[in-house]
Amino acid sequence: MQVDSVFLKALGTCLPDSVPPPVPDAQSSEEGGLTGALVAGDVSPPELAVRAVRQAFARGGVDPADIAVLLHVSVFHQGPDGWLPPSYIARETLGTSVPGIEIRQGCNGMFNAVELALGQLALDPSRVGALITSAENFGSPLVNRWTAHPGSYLGDGGVALVLDRRGGFARLRSLATALVPQLEQLHRGAEPLFPPGGTSGRPLEFGPRARDFAALNLVPDGQEMLGRARDRVLSQVLAEADTALDEIAWVVSMNNSRPHVAKRLLEPLGVPMSRSGWEFGRSFGHLGASDQFVTLERMVAAGRVAPGDKVLMLGVGPGISIGGAVVEVLSVPDWD
């Protein structure tokens, strides 16, 4: 969709220390390029989100009364079963009774949350702001963060994004999401739908699931199908932003190893690694749904963007869902 008059007012993060992998592997090799993953210890995902919100509010001078909706994005367990984190985040940061909704759309969830927030803002002209958070802590006995997700490590951290209709440091130019349901079993493999893995003690391992799916050969042209869907999303967001690919200053995707980012995204687009945000996340690990917006925050804080720069963002998650957006930097705020 083409987006008019919706701005990124502020971004905040909560990023714990990075820890190197315990055993050198292909991902930490010179070719792979990853140096570690953020590890939050016993800090819960909702608390990571709260800390990110506080930073975003301080940076943007945000009045909690301007927030009309809170959307919290998650991919893994957030706290006690039967309990939902948005109310906790709202109590700690807003103190108001706005709707608070949790979104489970995997690694693509932030794009889906932005899409839903745009609808909320468009429905009522009196609504001026939306708060979107995402946070994860993969420190679970069911997860080996160094091996569970081929092509990356799993990192902990939180991010908070404030959207505002009145202005901000950047403008959202376009956004699109799409689903490729023919490939949903890629992230399920041969595992049963019931009982859920979290209740039966099965570890989270995406590698075996992908191998099981490949062995079934249910979708022989799966990679081509995924590539075509990705290209459609990217073409849509570029066209709706009235932007050509050579006008894009940065391409931001997930915190995967160098070969994954280069071969699956940048090379098909003809974009060099020097125009990607990969360098900013190589020590973070894959943060669930947060990667793209954490990278954008790090780029802004480091002064690596300039007014007029356009940033192309891409997300891919189980489902398979794909999201894309174009953001135009209007000013560079003075963030630490």
* 3-state DSSP assignment of residue 32: coil
CATH value at residue 242: 3.40.47.10
Nearest to 101 by CA among 61, 127, 133, 79: 133
Cis ω for the linkage preceding 103 (within 30 of 0) = no
Q: Which of 167, 200, 228 is the last residue of a domain?
A: 167
Quote the number of domains for the chain: 2
**188 shares its domain with 311:** yes
Greatest distance between any 2 Cα atoms in the chain: 54
d(CA 111, CA 3): 13
> Hey, how many other C-beta atoms are within 10 angstroms of the C-beta on 222?
18
**160 shares its domain with 179:** no
Structure tokens at 195: 């009982």
**197 shares its domain with 161:** no
Q: Which of 137, 167, 197 is the last residue of a domain?
A: 167
How much is the pLDDT for 158? 98
Q: Residue 326: what are its φ and ψ, rounded to 5°?
A: -120, 125
Q: Is residue 127 part of a domain?
A: yes
* 3-state DSSP assignment of residue 227: helix
> Strand 170-179 and strand 250-252: pairing?
unpaired
DSSP assigned state of 154: B
Q: Is residue 37 part of a domain?
A: yes
Nearest to 46 by CA among 120, 100, 122, 6: 100
Q: Which positions ≥6 away from 49 have C-beta within 8 Å? A: 14, 72, 85, 89, 133, 134, 135, 158, 159, 160
**149 shares its domain with 177:** no
d(CA 12, CA 239): 29
Half-sphere exposure of 169 (CA within 13 A, CB side): 23
Q: Is residue 115 part of a domain?
A: yes
Structure tokens at 330: 């209007």
How much is the pLDDT for 124? 85
Beta bridge partners, 228, equal none
**322 shares its domain with 190:** yes
In the chain (336 residues long), the average pLDDT of successive 10-residue segments reads 92 98 95 97 98 98 97 96 96 95 95 96 90 98 96 97 97 96 94 91 92 90 91 96 96 95 89 94 97 98 97 94 97 90
**52 shares its domain with 138:** yes
119-134 burial, b at 16+ Cβ within 10 Å, e below that, comes to ebbeeeeebbbbbbbb
Q: Is residue 148 part of a domain?
A: yes
d(CA 36, CA 154): 9
**163 shares its domain with 177:** no
Q: Is residue 210 part of a domain?
A: yes
d(CA 123, CA 127): 8
**52 shares its domain with 139:** yes
How much is the pLDDT for 313? 97
How much is the pLDDT for 47? 98
How much is the pLDDT for 268? 87
Q: Residue 135: what are its φ and ψ, rounded to 5°?
A: -160, 150
* 3-state DSSP assignment of residue 175: strand
Q: Which of 135, 167, 199 is the last residue of a domain?
A: 167
**325 shares its domain with 180:** yes
Q: Is residue 334 part of a domain?
A: no
Tokens 């690990």 belong to residue: 285
Q: Is residue 2 part of a domain?
A: no
Which range marks the domain in which residue 15 is found?
7-167
How much is the pLDDT for 242? 96
Under 8 Å between Cβ of 291 and 255? yes
Nearest to 275 by CA among 300, 297, 253: 253
**What is the tally of helices (H) and strands (E) in the chain?**
10, 11
Q: Residue 215: what are its φ and ψ, rounded to 5°?
A: -65, -30
| Global pTM value | 0.96
Q: Is residue 97 part of a domain?
A: yes
H/E element, 170: strand 170-179
**148 shares its domain with 178:** no
Polymer length in residues for the chain: 336
Under 8 Å between Cβ of 233 and 324? yes
Tokens 């008019």 belong to residue: 4
